[in-house]
C-alpha cells in the first residue's frame, strides 16, 4: 500500500512522533493507522521509561494568567539540555501544562505527595457512602478503591485527564513529549494563585 504524505501527517498529529518514524510504522502495518499509532505509543513509552532516571537540570519556568488578572500559574518543567528547552514541542508542553493547572486546579503533583491523613479521611468517607448505598461489605473495599482512584484523578496533577484531550493523563502527555524530544522531561513544581485565596501553593516532585 502506498503511504501518502497526508497519512504521515495524520499519524504525526495523533502521536507527536517525527515523520520518518511515522512513515516506517505505516509501512510496517500496511497503512493501518490505528496499529501504527499504538505501535508508536508503545515504543515511545518504552523510551520514556529508559530516560526516566536521567538528570534534568535545564528547562523553563512557564507562567499563565487569566485575562482578568484574578488567577495565575507558575510551573517549572525540566529537561536535560538547553537545546530541547527551546524546542516547540517542549515549550508547547509547558504552556499547555500551565493552562491546564489554571483550569483544573490540582492540589498535588503526585499521589505520593497526598498526606496520609487526607487519604485515610477520604477512604473512610467513601466506605461509609458505599455501605449506605447498600453494597455488601465483601465488595465494598473494591468499590472504595475505584472511588479513591477517581479522587486522585481530581486532585493529583499527573493523574488528571489532560484538558485538551481527556484520553490522556498529564503523565501520558509527559511521556509523549519525552518520546518526541528524546530527553527526560520532569514537571518539577507548580504554584497556582487565585485572588483572595491563602495557602501553601508550591508543589514539588522529588
Which of the 8 DSSP states describes residue 60?
E
User: Could you tell me which of 62, 66, 69, 56 has the C-alpha nearest to residue 95?
Assistant: 62
> Residue 182 region, left (φ>0) first, then alpha (ψ -120 to 50), else beta?
left
Cα 189 to Cα 48: distance, rounded to the nearest angstrom: 20
Is residue 132 very low, low, confident or very high in pLDDT (cuts 50, 70, 90)? very high
Place of cell 528524546: 182
Tell me the mean pLDDT in the region 165-191: 90
DSSP per position, 151-198: HHHHHBGGGSEETTEEEEEHHHHHHHHHHHHSS--EEEEEEEEETT--
When mean pLDDT is compared across 13-22, 26-35, 106-115, the lowest value belongs to 13-22
Place of cell 479513591: 148
In order of start, what are the domains of the chain with their CATH numbers? 5-51 (1.10.8.10), 58-110+156-204 (3.30.479.20), 115-154 (1.10.286)
Has residue 18 got a pLDDT over 80? no
When comparing pLDDT for 201 and 173, which is higher?
173
When comparing pLDDT for 15 and 149, which is higher?
149
Per-chain mean pLDDT for the chain: 87
For 32-39, which contacts have Cβ atoms below 8 Å and span 24 or more sequence positions? Answer: 33/7, 36/11, 37/11
pLDDT in tens, 68-81: 889 999 999 999 99
Amino acid at each position: 500500500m502506498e503511504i501518502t504524505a497526508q497519512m504521515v501527517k495524520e499519524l504525526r498529529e495523533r502521536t507527536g512522533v517525527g515523520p520518518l518514524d511515522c512513515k516506517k510504522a505505516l509501512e510496517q502495518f500496511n497503512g493501518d493507522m490505528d496499529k501504527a499509532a499504538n505501535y508508536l505509543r508503545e515504543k515511545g513509552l518504552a523510551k520514556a521509561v529508559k530516560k526516566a532516571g536521567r538528570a534534568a537540570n535545564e528547562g523553563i519556568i512557564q507562567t499563565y494568567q487569566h485575562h482578568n488578572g484574578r488567577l495565575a500559574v507558575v510551573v517549572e518543567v525540566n529537561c536535560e539540555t538547553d537545546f530541547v528547552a527551546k524546542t516547540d514541542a517542549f515549550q508547547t508542553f509547558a504552556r499547555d501544562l500551565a493552562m491546564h493547572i489554571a483550569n483544573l486546579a490540582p492540589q498535588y503533583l503526585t499521589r505520593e505527595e497526598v498526606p496520609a491523613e487526607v487519604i485515610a479521611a477520604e477512604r473512610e468517607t467513601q466506605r461509609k457512602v458505599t455501605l449506605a448505598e447498600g453494597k455488601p461489605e465483601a465488595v465494598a473495599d473494591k468499590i472504595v478503591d475505584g472511588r479513591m482512584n477517581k479522587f486522585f484523578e481530581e486532585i493529583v496533577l499527573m493523574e488528571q485527564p489532560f484538558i485538551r484531550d481527556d484520553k490522556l493523563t498529564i503523565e501520558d502527555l509527559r511521556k509523549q513529549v519525552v518520546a518526541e524530544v528524546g530527553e527526560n522531561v520532569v514537571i518539577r513544581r507548580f504554584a497556582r494563585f487565585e485572588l483572595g485565596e491563602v495557602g501553601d501553593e508550591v508543589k514539588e516532585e522529588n
